[in-house]
Amino acid sequence: MAPKKNAKESANAAPVVAAPALAPVEPAPVVKPATTKPKASEASTPWDKVLINLYNHYIDETPQRTKLLDVFLVFLVAVGALQFLYCVLAGNYPFNAFLSGFGATVGQFVLTISLRIQTTEANKSEFPQVSPERSFADFIVCSLILHFFCINFIN
Amino acid sequence: MAVATQGASSGINSQNTRTLLRVSILFLIAAAAVASRLFSVIRFESIIHEFDPWFNFRATKYLVANGFYKFWDWFDDRTWHPLGRVTGGTLYPGLMVTSGVIYHALRALTVPVDIRNICVLLAPAFSGLTAYAAYLLTNEMTTSSSAGLLAAAFMGITPGYISRSVAGSYDNEAIAIFLLVFTFYLWIKALKLGSMLWGALCALFYGYMVASWGGYAFITCLLPLHAFVLIGMGRFSNRLYVSYTTWYALGTIASMQIPFVGFLPVKTSEHMPALGIFGLVQLVGLLQYVRSSMSAKQFQTFVITVLVGAVGIGLAGLVGLTSLGYIAPWSGRFYSLWDTGYAKIHIPIIASVSEHQPTAWPAFFFDLNMLIWLFPAGVYLLFQDLRDEHVFVVVYALFGSYFAGVMVRLMLTLTPIVCVSAAIAASQILDTYLSAKKPNLEEVTDAGATDAKPAKKSGLRVSSKPNVGIFTFVSKALVVGGMVVYLLMFVSHCTWVTSNAYSSPSVVLASRMPDGSQHIIDDYREAYQWLRQNTKEDAKIMSWWDYGYQIGGMADRPTLVDNNTWNNTHIATVGKAMSSSEEVSYPIMRQHEVDYVLVVFGGLLGYSGDDINKFLWMVRIAEGIWPEEVKERNFFTSRGEYRVDAEATDTMKNSLMYKMSYYNYHSLFPAGQTVDRVRGARLPDQGPVLNTIEEAYTTENWIIRIYKVKDLDNVGRDLAAAASFDRGQKKKASKKKGPRVLRVD
C-alpha cells in the first residue's frame, strides 16, 4: 500500500503545495520533476505557461493564513516522503511504527487540506453549516483521535 | 401500528405533539423489536443458541473473570489440541467487550445481573438500536416524516434480521448490523455536511464495526464504491473530499488497532479499493483546485498528464507489489463471492457450511416478505431525485442484492437497505393517498398543462413531475385499505416466521406430543453434562468441528477442532480419522491423545442434521489433503448412490463414523426391522463391530453417542485381536465353544 499511496500523493500533492510554497523563495525552479517530464518533451510552451499561471494565481489569490497552512502541508509531505524513503532503504522492520508514523502524516495532511478547503472563502457555499471556527475545532478533535490511534499502534 | 399513529399525527399541527408522538412511536417500535425476539426465551429458557455463540459466551466469561489485558493475551490450550489457539489475537473482540462493559456498568449501578443473561439479551437490545439507526438513515434520504418511522418498524421486525438476532443468538452479527447501519448513517451525514467531525465519528464507528465482525469489509468496499460512482458521475465536491479522506485516514488507522486485523488493511486486496479511491480523491481534488486557475485548454493537457501518470503508477505499483507478494491476492472466501462453484472445488471447508450456500429464491420472500417487492419501487423513487445520498442507496441496493443472491448469510447485509427503500416507497404511497385535502381542480390542471410540455422535451428532468392529487375518496380508501392489509399481513408473517423458523436454540430441540403438548429433546446438554461429570478435566474429545465450540462451552473439555476452522489440515486429520477404517484411525487418535469420540446420530429420531449426513464433507475435506488414502468415490455404490443400508460399500461400512453411528443400533429393533429414520434405510441385522473404541455413553434419544478410545492392550496384542479374543471368551463362557477359540489362538 505504502508505495502506491506515496506515488499518488507525490503526484498530486506536490503541485498544490510544494510548488507554490517554495515559490516565494525562488520563483524560477517551479518545474516539478515527476509530472512534468513526459509532457515537457511533447509540448513545452503550454506546460510552462500552465505552471506560471498556477503560480501567479496562487500568489495573488491566497490569503496569508492559508499560506501558513500550506507551509505545514509542505512540512508534512517532506516528513512523509522521508519516512517512506527510510522504509524503502532501511527496511520496514518495525512495521507498526512505520505505519503509524506514515499514517499520522497522511492523516494530518488530509485533515489540514480539509481545514484549508473549509476555511477558503470561495468554498463557503458548499459548507453552509461550517464556520471557520467550527472547522478548526473539528480539525483539532480529528487530529486528537488520529494521534491517539497512531500512538496506540506504534508499539 | 406506526402507520396508523402517523396518519393521525398528520392532522395535528403542533410541532411538540409531533415530536412527542415520534419519540413514543420509536420507543414502541424498539419494544416490539425486542419483544418479538423473545420467543425462544419464553418457549425454552434463557440459553445461548447454536454453535458460534457458545464460543463468544465462553470468551465473554473469560473476559469478565480475568479482565481485559488477560483477555487480550489469551492463549487457549483447550482447543485445537495439541496446537492451541491464540484466541486474543484471532477473534473480533467487539461483542465480548460490549457485553463486558454492560456487565460492569450494571454491577456499578448495583444491579445484580448474570453475565449469561446479558449475553442472551444483547442481540434483542441492539435490534432496538438498529431500528433507531434505520430511522436516522431513512430521514437523511427523504423529507417524508413517515418514511423513517416505517423503516424503523420494518427493520425491527423483518425476519431477515431477526434470523441473526433472536435472544440467545449471541453472535457478532448481533451488534454488527446496528454498527453497519449507523456507520452508513454517519457517512451520509458527513457527506451531506462535508464535516470532518461526522467523518471522524463515521471512522470511529467503522473501527467499532471492525472490532466486531468480519463483515466490515462490506463497508470498506461500499463507501469507496459510492465515492467512485459520485466521481464518475461528475459529482466530485469538496464535501466528498473532506468526508472520504477523513473517514479513510482515521478509519484505517482505527481498524489496524484490532490484532486480528492488524496489517490487513495495507496488505490484502480486499482493502485496496478504498486505498485506490483515496488516491483518486486526492488527485481529483488537486485537479479541481488547479482548474480554477487556468484556461480550459491548458487544463485538459494537465488533466490528461496527471491522470494517466498517477493511475498508471498506481496500477503498476499494485500489480508489482501483488506479484512480489507484498499484497496478498483475494482470499478464497472472496473468490467464492464471484464464482459460486469456486469454494466447492478448491476449499470444501467453506462450501461445507450451510450458510455459505447460494440463496434459494423463496428465501427472499420468506425473509423479507412484501418488502422485497416494495424495494425496487423505493429505489426507483430515489432515482427520480438523484442526490448524492440517493446514489449511495442505489449502489448499496445493487451490491447488496448481488451478494445476498450468492450467499445465504449475506441476506443480512441486504436487509437494512431493503427496509429503507421499501419504507420510502410505502410512505410515498401513504403520503399521497392519505392526505385528507382535496386538491384544487384548477390549480392542478394549470400545473398539469404547464408541466406537460417540458416534460415531453426532457423526460428525465426532476421538475417534470406533474403536480396532481387524488380526487375521489373511493380510490383513496381502496389504496390505503390495501396498503394497511399488506402491512398487517407483513406483521403476521414476520411473527409467524420468527416463532416458527428462527426461535429454536438448536441446542434444545422441541417436538409435539400427540396431545399437542410440547416435548423437549435435550440430548445435547445431557451428553455434555455427562462429559463434564464423568471424564477427566483434560480428557480430549474428538468430534466433527461443528460441535467444538459447544463442547468447549458446555462440557468444558479440550477439543481437537472447532468452529474457528483456522487450520484446514487439522480438520482434515479429524475427517480422515472419521472416514477411515479402525486400523488407520486408531493411530491417528493415539497420536492426538484422543480420549473420547463424540458423534451425532439422528437415525432413531429422524434428526437430519447428524454426522452421517455431514459425512461426505468430512470425506471431501480429508480427500483434499490425502487424495491417495481417502477417496470420495469409494463411499458411493457402483450406481453412484450414497447408501447406509446393506448395499453400502465396504469403505462406508468400515469407516469409523459409520461404525460409531450404527453400533448396537440393531439391538433396539426386532430382527429385520432396523430402520434409519433420517435416510429411510433398512439396516442389516448384523451391526458393525468395534475393536479399538468402546461405547461410553449414548443419550436418551441416541442423538449423541460417545465412545472411549481404548488404551493399548496390556499384553501387547493388537486391539483387534484382543477384542475378538474378548468376544470369543464371552461366547465360550455362554455357549461353550472352547476348542474353536483355542485353535484361533
- For Cα atoms A140, A142, A143, give the angle at the middle one, nearest 5 degrees: 65
A17 in contact with B at a CB cutoff of 8 Å?
Answer: no
CA–CA gap between residue B667 and residue B221 (Å, rounded): 58
Beta strands in B374-530 (DSSP E): 509-512, 518-521
Q: What pLDDT is attached to residue A59?
A: 83
Mean pLDDT of chain B: 84
Residue B207 contacts residue B94 (beta carbons within 8 Å): no
Residue B413 contacts residue B215 (beta carbons within 8 Å): yes
Average pLDDT over residues B608-615: 87
Q: What pLDDT is attached to residue B344?
A: 66
Which residue of A104, A127, A138 is in closest CB contact with B197? A138
Residue A80 contacts residue A9 (beta carbons within 8 Å): yes
Q: What pLDDT is attached to residue B452?
A: 44
pLDDT digits (tens, 9 = 90+) for B202-261: 999 999 999 999 889 899 999 999 999 998 888 888 899 999 999 999 999 999 998 888
CA–CA gap between residue B584 and residue B571 (Å, rounded): 16
Q: Identify the top-confidence range among A39-48, B131-140, B601-610.
A: B131-140
Give residue B293's pLDDT band: very low, low, confident or very high (50, 70, 90). low
Partners of B194 on chain A (C-beta within 8 Å) are: 118, 126-127, 130
Residue B505 contacts residue B47 (beta carbons within 8 Å): yes
> Looking at chain B, which residue has its C-alpha nearest residue A136?
B196
CA–CA gap between residue B314 and residue A7 (Å, rounded): 7
Report the range of poorest mean pLDDT among B309-318, B397-406, B530-539: B309-318
21-80 in chain A: CB under 8 A from chain B: 34-35, 38-39, 43, 46-47, 49-50, 53-54, 57-58, 61
CA–CA gap between residue B341 and residue B468 (Å, rounded): 51
pLDDT digits (tens, 9 = 90+) for B328-341: 666 666 676 677 66
Residue B587 zone, left/alpha/beta (φ > 0; ψ -120 to 50; rest)? alpha
Give residue B145's pLDDT band: very low, low, confident or very high (50, 70, 90). confident
Residue A120 contacts residue A16 (beta carbons within 8 Å): no
Q: Higher-confidence residue: B167 or B461?
A: B167
* Cβ separation A38–B263 shorter than 8 A: no
* Cβ separation B266–A1 shorter than 8 A: yes
Minimum distance, in Å, between the CA of residue B315 and any CA atom of chain A: 8
Which of B581, B575, B570 has the alpha carbon at shortest distance from B689? B581
Q: Is the pLDDT of residue A2 over 50?
A: no
> Taken in order A52, A57, A60, A66, is the CA torsion positive or negative?
negative
Residue B189 contacts residue B205 (beta carbons within 8 Å): no
> Looking at chain B, which residue has its C-alpha nearest residue A142?
B200
What is the predicted ipTM?
Answer: 0.80
C-alpha cell at B75: 492463549
Bond into A132 cis (ω within 30): no
Percentage with pLDDT > 70 across chain B = 87
CA–CA gap between residue B417 and residue B412 (Å, rounded): 10
> Looking at chain B, which residue has its C-alpha nearest residue A49?
B298
Q: What pLDDT is attached to residue B445?
A: 56
pLDDT digits (tens, 9 = 90+) for A77-90: 999 999 989 988 88
Q: Higher-confidence residue: B167 or B442?
A: B167
Which of B246, B193, B187 has the alpha carbon at shortest distance from A143? B246
Q: What pLDDT is attached to residue B724?
A: 81
Average pLDDT over residues B413-437: 88
* Cβ separation A145–B200 shorter than 8 A: yes
Which of A93, A106, A124, A92 has the alpha carbon at shortest distance from A5? A106
Q: What pLDDT is attached to residue B442?
A: 61
- Pure H helices in B37-93: 39-43, 52-66, 68-72
* Cβ separation B310–A8 shorter than 8 A: yes
Q: Is the pLDDT of residue A42 over 50?
A: no
Q: Is the pLDDT of residue B187 over 90?
A: yes
Which residue of B242, B256, B297 is in closest CB contact with A114? B242
Mutate one of A111, A114, A124 to test the B interface: name it (highest B CB count within 10 A). Answer: A114
pLDDT digits (tens, 9 = 90+) for A105-132: 999 999 999 998 888 877 788 888 788 8
* Cβ separation A142–B292 shorter than 8 A: no
CA–CA gap between residue B531 and residue B647 (Å, rounded): 35
| Domain definitions of chain B by residue range | 522-723
pLDDT digits (tens, 9 = 90+) for B686-723: 888 888 888 999 998 888 999 999 888 888 787 878 88
Which residues lie below 8 Å from residue B531, measured CB to CB, with a gap of 6+? B539, B541, B551, B555, B557, B596, B598, B706
pTM over 0.90: no
Average pLDDT over residues B515-537: 88
A146 in contact with B at a CB cutoff of 8 Å?
Answer: yes
Which residues lie below 8 Å from residue A107, measured CB to CB, with a gap of 6+? A146, A150, B249, B250, B253
Question: What is the architecture, at CATH level 2, of domain B522-723?
Answer: 3-Layer(aba) Sandwich (3.40)
> Looking at chain A, which residue has its C-alpha nearest residue B196?
A138
* Cβ separation B256–A153 shorter than 8 A: yes
